[in-house]
Amino acid sequence: MSTVPSIGTTDDDPAHPAHPAAASLRLPGRGEARTVTLAGTRRVRDAATRLVALLDKPLASYYLVLGCTLLLLAVGLMMVLSAGTAYDLDNGLPPYSMFIKQLAGAVAGLALMWLAAKSPPRLFRACAYPLLLAALAGVALVLLFGVEVDGAKRWLIVAGTQVQPSELAKLALVVWGADLLARKERLGQLADWRHLLIPLLPGAALLSLLVLLGRDMGTTFLLIVIFLALLWIIGTPRRLLAGLAGLMAFVLLIVVAVHPYELARITAFFAAHSPSCQSLSCYQLIQGKDALGSGGLFGVGTGASRAKWGWVPNSPTDFIFAILGEELGLVGTLCVVALYGGIAFAGLRIARRAPDTFSRLAAGAITVWLVVQAMVNMGAVLGLLPISGVPLPLISAGVSSLLASLVALGMLMAFARTEPGAARALAAAGPATPLRLLRRLGRYRGGATTTATADRASSGSRRRRVAPPQ
């Protein structure tokens, strides 16, 4: 006579408390969930503590600037290869010609950045007035012999290559303004607002006026930003700084109202999606946002952009961020924004920890210049700001902009080497990796030469021993 086991009491039921699998099916209690939450919080806190400890190291700013610069440069070369090749083919130029120029500029710029990073700040101060005079001469020559493209006169043709002296003007204003204010602070003359503004204000105004006469509103705006950044870092009173900013904004509005080219850009910004707007700026804004949004989360793939084939005007230069968003997606654009954020963090940290006034002023002004320029470019592509024509630092095609940006970042690395404890850390680290490799190679070759000499000497002695007597 068979017996039927009762339901809920058999050990074969996984839901029964006596079954071994019942423990895995049981939901965690309130105490266990709290323990898991506390463990996760502790891991996050430990990771944050390690990150803060890593950033507190003396050379953290130096390597952060170097790493972000190299990554942005690599992304820029990749995007110029993609967008520039399509531009060359569309305009009947030899393929890869734009990329080859950008690659040559990157190699030269890296060499200049390395030299700037190894130079002492006093060398930059010695170049302040020569840089300013060269920039003034360059932008003046543009007005006389420059080439006008898309309504703006920005370029000189030197040995068959386009050169943009206004990029040098930004670097010159940084170095000259920082040196001037540092000298005045050492003499104790900054308490008087007249010594604070003269000759800094006339020099910056002259440089901005010459650039503005070439209808380069974007670079003029950046020169004003650099000028205000120098005054802000040196500790100018808020009322004076606000008055100067308001006066310069008023002047820029008047210039925009007078120049039809700039007025068309402002009008297109407010009426980009209006059917009545038929200007090139409206078309550029619409196509740029369409390309940026079509990339989705991860993009269509490197080199697979469709908008670069004549749909987005100036895709290798002013609107390369739109092609970047299409090919790399939202993730790629956020990574690029994070890299610029890394440069901003490192630059402001260098300015705060700089041991002298010149390094503090120059580091802060360089950081504000590059970050604001990147924000203006990306804001124009996103439709948040009017089109200004400024390139995206380290990414847009353009050798003049690339060289100026790399030299400025090299100066930032040189200032990072003067932070407290940085010189001691560099001395403890020994020579750089290329120098260590060369020294090891030299020791290897020297050892091989010594071994070969010893072998020849020993073989000669053996020959002398076996020679017959005379």
Instruction: Give Cα 120 to chain centroid, integer Å.
Output: 22
Confidence of residue 72 (pLDDT cuts 50, 70, 90): very high
Min mean pLDDT across 204-218, 256-270, 328-342, 453-467 is at 453-467
Q: Is the pLDDT of residue 439 over 70?
A: no
Tokens describing residue 49: 């503590």
**According to the model, what pLDDT value does residue 461 have?**
45
Biggest CA–CA distance in the chain, Å, is 122
Q: Is the pLDDT of residue 172 over 90?
A: yes
Tell me which of 274 and 309 has the higher pLDDT. 309
For residue 170, which amino acid is it? K
Instruction: Give Cα 139 to chain centroid, integer Å.
Output: 24
Tell me which of 251 and 332 has the higher pLDDT. 332
User: Tens digits of per-residue pLDDT, 339-358?
Assistant: 999 999 999 999 999 999 99
Q: Is the pLDDT of residue 6 over 60?
A: no
Pairing between β-strand 161-163 and β-strand 147-149 as defined by DSSP bridges: unpaired
For all residues of the chain together, what is the average pLDDT? 84
Q: How far apart are CA 81 and CA 89, in angstroms?
A: 12
Q: Is the pLDDT of residue 8 over 50?
A: no
383: left (phi over 0), alpha (psi -120 to 50) or beta: left
CA atoms within 13 A on the CB side of 212: 20
Strands of 152-158's sheet in order across: 147-149, 152-158, 161-163
Confidence of residue 169 (pLDDT cuts 50, 70, 90): very high
Domain ranges of the chain: 70-419
**According to the model, what pLDDT value does residue 468 have?**
43
User: Tens digits of per-residue pLDDT, 133-151?
Assistant: 999 999 999 999 888 776 6
User: Tens digits of per-residue pLDDT, 276-298?
Assistant: 666 677 888 888 889 999 999 99
* CB-based burial label for 157 (10 Å; 0-12, 13-18, 19+): exposed
Highest mean pLDDT among 152-156, 175-179, 196-200, 466-470 belongs to: 175-179
CA torsion sign, 366 to 369 to 372 to 376? Answer: negative
**According to the model, what pLDDT value does residue 280 have?**
72
Highest mean pLDDT among 192-206, 261-275, 368-382, 437-451 belongs to: 368-382
Highest mean pLDDT among 14-23, 264-273, 299-308 belongs to: 299-308
DSSP secondary structure, 386-425, as one string: ----PPPTTTSS-HHHHHHHHHHHHHHHHHHTTSTTHHHH
Does residue 423 contact residue 186 with C-beta atoms inside 8 Å? no
**According to the model, what pLDDT value does residue 450 have?**
46
